[in-house]
A and B are shown apart, each in its own frame.
Chain A
Amino acid sequence: MQQHTVTFVTTLAGKAARASAESLLRAEQARIAAGQVAPWRAIEQLHFLSLFIVPAGVGGRPQLVLEANFDGGTFEFRAALVAQCRGFLDALYANCEGYPGPRAQASDARVREYLRASDLGYDVFFVSSPGRSTAQVEFERDLGARLEQRIASAGPVRGRRAPYIASLWAGLTAQDKERIQARSPRPWWTGNLLSRSRVAATLQLLLAAAVYLAFADVGAGCLTRPYPDCATLPPHAQALVEVLACAGIVLAGLALLAWFAILAHEFPRATRPRAWMRIVAFKLWDMARHLPMAVVWSIGVLTIIGVLAWKFWTLIVLGLVAGFAGLACLALVLGRIAAQESDMRVDEMNWSAAHMDGVRALEDRGAQNHFVSVTRIKPGWLRVATLRITLRAINLLWRLYFNPRGLSGIPSIHFARWLILPGGRRLLFVTNYDGAWGGYLTDFVTLAGEWMNAIWGHCRGFPRTYFLFFGGTRDEQRFKCYARDSQVETLLWYRRYPELTVVAIERNAAARADLARWAAKDFGARHGDYEAREEGIAEAKLDAWLRRF
């Protein structure tokens, strides 16, 4: 099930209201810390939830923020939240402007509507494992522990591994087996749009289209002028058909090359005589699987070629003009930004932020941590505009391209979001991550420094960036100092599985998925090992599976 997120931003009614909300949240946090069952636990789809107060900006008032990450739609989440936590919401939001009021005065529907109206969503939303529900996380965790226990009691492996794993499998209940083999639905867009299989499938489809067009072209006689049929077409249509045919032939060549490259890549693994046939059959099946995406891509590519062919020179000239205009704009933007950057003082460091005691009190308890940062966007409309464009672009990139690899390969983020707060002058960042704060920020620097620059480089006090992407986080200590300085204390933090890191969740999931494949006698397919599909499982793969424990 697809995860979603809400960010309810509401305005606190005054100083007294702020103090009252804060003490209420602290009391609730103390209850959670003392191990009492929080009302949030009853909301089964809820992964993480936090509440904090964003201090007043210039001329503004402080705002209360509730953010949550959960499975399924926002409507269902709001309904569950109001149904399970109405009392708490009443007490808390009584301090905020416009709240409909306690149960006696207002129906649940009005509270839901109030929350819906205050939901600002996100500008960038990152999920570490799209589609993995709380139920699945918890099942896989418990399954991992059960298997671990069974392995501990079964003792070491003697002889072949397949019977050993079969005995483990036999020891599971029918219900477990069913859940292990249940397919976990993943949203259609997850996975890398530019994956090898998808590109290959697209090229293959283009090949088919090209062959068809080439035949159609020859049939129409366009390549051999004397035939009269072609002459009946209007001149630009003739040209279009020709160009498409030529493009088709080139693409066909490319597709063949790609096909052979992929086959050659797989070939060393296939050592038995009939292996080639099997690989080709597997590739065809793989191609069919990717057909919908390939159709979309092919239509896109052919349209571009077609339009180019239709008005080639006009488009080239227009493109060049637009390109130069774009470059000039970019140069202007970068020049202006560079001028703003250059007057930063490099010695400015403040490691003595007063709010740190509260922040630290909640930190390093359990496997996970929570980080909220509010930063001020640099002055001028230009910064807000470039920041908005950057956030949109990054959100799209992460959805379509980086998704299966995490946030640029950072292995410790459960959920993260960026959001420009109302008024357009402040940027909110919220994340649920694993391990030490310092290590997490070090990962930001070493693995995703340029992305962080592209975003936070638009904010005041961030170490100097060059051309939006460079510099910045490379000055690691100043970046960390800045991040700490911008941190907002989390007043209440609920997490459903506080002991699990992303790595542990992924490991449990992989153990379950491999076991499911083993049960389906499909273990080798995932690893590109066509031999193993017939023989059950290669022993080496079983070893890899056993080493997960």
Chain B
Amino acid sequence: METLELDDIQGMLRGGYKHLPETSYLLLRIEDVVGAKSWLHRLLQQNWIDRAAETYDSSRLHEDICGGSICFSAQGLRALGLGAEAMRMFPSEFQEGMHVPHRARALGDTGASEPARWLWGGDGEVHILLMLFASQGRIPSCVKAIGDIPGFPRLLYEVRASLMTREPFGFADGIANPNVEGLTPRAGRPENTVKPGEFVLGYLNEAGNRPASPTVEVTLDPQSRLPRTQAGRADLGRNGSFFVLRQLSQNVEAYRAFVGNDELLAARMVGRWRSGAPLTRYPAADPRPGRFNVEDDFGYHRDDRNGFRCPIGAHARRANPRDSLADFSGVAPEDAQKMVNLHRLLRRGRVYDTVDDIGLMFGCFNANIERQFEFVQQSWIMHPEFGELRDETDPLLGNCPVNATRHLSVQHPLLRERVSGLSQFVTVIGGSYFFLPGLRALEFLAAL
């Protein structure tokens, strides 16, 4: 097992700050480059950016603290002064961004979710994302303190969010996050544990490679802040990651109107009961309604290959098919689980709740956006033929035109039942891809 340089990795990769309930997402745009760099420099000097080594230091867990993570869009890195030679080393999906037309088409961001309608990110104007996590009531003072540092970039948009026990539709969320070897504090089931290279650049991944890491010419780094690669370049990516942020507006009224009191239908759309209890285990009723149930030890191929318990198209089954690819791709169940582990996301979501809108700030880390987030979104969540289904998308996240409806197939030993009348319950209203550098790389960027 590789030892991770926790001193150089930003704290948010290690955990979701479950002890800090309040969050602010600050979306910034660089207008004065010199000022922005000095601001970034001070931010680092004043220890605003957490290191993974300290995040779960038990002495800090009870402090009245505020932790931060910072990441940059491709436009942001260009604005800081990275030239074309350095930028071409970044994967194309990051360079182009989430909002370009062909990517929006591929991700299913069409109709009401199309980037032109987004509140932020729709034209690639966001340069920096600063995420602050704080204990109850501390966020305003943190935001003010950061804004007071000279050179603070222009604030385009701010989203305040909080750690909630249930997402707005009423379900326990974030149960099946993977464990990362050497990074996440607790150990988990072996089939749910992945190599650090799936999320942190510079380490071996599930395929036995090191993910492609952006590098720059050594002349850009005269003070040798960055480690060197074998080929003699400066490694900008090491200990960094790519962060996907999407603001998902949830239409709670439409959802409640559709589901009504039918708890079984609600559970079938998600794949778990509201408590988190998996349908695969408890097909008839929630064993302990109102409580939390984080049971995660089940397989769809192993326990429910026909989808008679948890429908094949259910949200959780699409987003993480576990061993079920064995049912339609002809691979062995353990290989199916390995294949799925090439497409895992390390989620870091929070719930936002404003006067007229409620929803999820969906965030996830990947070492390879194309193979992880984009693949899950395109080939599983939004794929009309996922699991040999016909013409249906994710019951929660799927799109449909205004005044039209979608359906969900519920498999049954005799003949599948088709639940129709689903409308669009979730709309994307903002999003962008970010690069979350390691601490040394941040120093390099501040000195660029």
Binding site for B on A (CB under 8 A): 148, 151-152, 156-157, 161, 345-347, 349-353, 356, 360-361, 363-365, 367, 409, 411, 435-436, 438-439, 442, 445-446, 474-478, 480-481, 484, 501, 503-504, 507, 543, 546-547, 549
B95 / chain A contacts, CB cutoff of 8 Å: 351-352
Report the contact-size class of chain B (Cβ under 8 Å from the partner).
35 or more
Query: Quick check: A347 and B385 within 8 Å, CB to CB?
Result: no
Report the minimum CB–CB distance from A357 to chain B (whole Å).
Answer: 9
Chain B residues within an 8 Å CB radius of A475 = 209
- Complex: how many Å from CA A356 to CA B384? 26
CB-nearest residue of chain B to A435: B379
Q: How far is the CA of A349 from the CA of B94 in the complex (A)?
A: 14
Q: In the assembled complex, how far is the CB of residue A207 from the closest CB belonging to chain B, in whole angstroms?
A: 33
- If A346-B230, A547-B415 are given as contacts, then 13 extra A-B residue pairs at C-beta distance below 8 Å, sorted by A number, are A157-B415, A347-B89, A351-B90, A352-B84, A352-B95, A353-B92, A367-B384, A435-B383, A442-B375, A476-B207, A477-B91, A478-B212, A481-B91
Nearest residue (CB) in B for A164 is B415
Stretch of B140-148, B182-190, B352-360, B366-374 that contacts chain A:
B366-374
A439–B375 CB distance below 8 A: yes
Closest chain A residue, CB of each to CB of B230: A346
| Contact A480/B370 with A151-B415, A349-B212, A409-B329 known, Cβ cut-off 8 Å | yes
25 pairs of residues in contact across A and B, judged by CB atoms under 8 Å: A148-B390, A156-B412, A157-B415, A347-B89, A349-B212, A351-B89, A351-B90, A352-B84, A352-B87, A356-B92, A364-B102, A365-B105, A409-B331, A411-B329, A436-B374, A436-B378, A436-B379, A439-B378, A445-B207, A446-B342, A503-B328, A503-B385, A546-B415, A549-B390, A549-B416
With A148-B390, A352-B95, A364-B105 as contacts: A435 and B415 at CB distance below 8 Å: no
- Contact yes or no, A438 B371, CB < 8 A: yes
B257 contacts the other chain (CB 8 A): no
Residues of A within 8 A of B222 (CB): none
User: B406 → chain A, closest Cβ, in Å?
Assistant: 15
The answer to whether A439 touches B342, judged by C-beta atoms less than 8 angstroms apart, is no
Hey, what's the 0/1 contact readout for B395-427 against A, CB within 8 Å counting as 1? 000000000000000011111111000000000
| Per-position 1/0 for B64-94, Cβ under 8 A of A | 0000000000000000000010011111100
* Distance of A478 Cα from B339 Cα, bound (Å): 19
Chain B residues whose CB sits within 8 angstroms of the CB of A364 once the complex forms: 102, 105-106
Q: Would you call the interface of chain B mostly helix, strand, loop, or mixed?
A: loop
Which A-chain residue is minimally distant from B367 (CB atoms)?
A477
Residue B240 at the chain A interface, CB threshold 8 Å = no
Shortest distance between the CB of A242 and any CB in chain B (Å)? 47
* Closest CB pairs A-B (n = 6): A352-B88, A477-B212, A360-B102, A347-B231, A351-B92, A157-B414
Complex CA gap A392/B88 in Å reads 37
- Asked whether A474 and B329 contact (CB < 8 A) given A345-B231, A352-B92, the answer is no
Given the known inter-chain contacts A361-B102, A480-B370, please indicate yes or no for A439 contacting B231, CB distance below 8 A.
no
Residues of B within 8 A of A157 (CB): 414-415
In contact, B105 and A156 (Cβ under 8 angstroms): no
Interface residues of B in 208-261 (CB under 8 A from A): 208-209, 211-212, 215, 229-231, 233
Interface centre among B212, B368, B374, B413 (most CB of A within 10 A): B212
- With a cutoff of 8 Å between Cβ atoms, the chain B residues found around residue A474 in the complex are 207-209
Distance between B312 CB and nearest chain A CB, rounded to angstroms: 10
The residue in chain A whose Cβ has the minimal distance to the Cβ of B369 is A438
Judging by beta carbons under 8 Å apart, are B370 and A409 in contact? no
Question: Which B residues are in CB contact (< 8 Å) with A480?
Answer: 370
Known contacts A442-B342, A480-B370, A546 near B388 by CB under 8 Å: no
Instruction: Give every chain B residue within 8 A of A349 (Cβ-Cβ).
Output: 88-89, 212
Task: List the A side residues contacting B412 at CB < 8 Å.
Answer: 156
From known contacts A347-B233, A435-B379, A438-B371, infer whether A543 and B212 are also in contact, taking CB-CB under 8 Å: no
Query: In the complex the two chains form, what is the Cα distance from A243 to B303 in whole Å?
Result: 56
A148 surroundings in chain B (CB, below 8 A) = 390
Q: Are A442 and B371 CB-contacts (below 8 A) given A351-B88, A503-B385?
A: yes
CA distance A445 to B88 in the complex (A): 23
Query: Which residue from chain A places its CB closest to the CB of B414 in the assembled complex?
Result: A157
- B85, closest chain A residue (CB): A352
Q: Does B306 contact A (CB under 8 A)?
A: yes
B330 within 8 Å of A (CB atoms): yes
Which residues from B are CB-within-8-Å of A484?
92
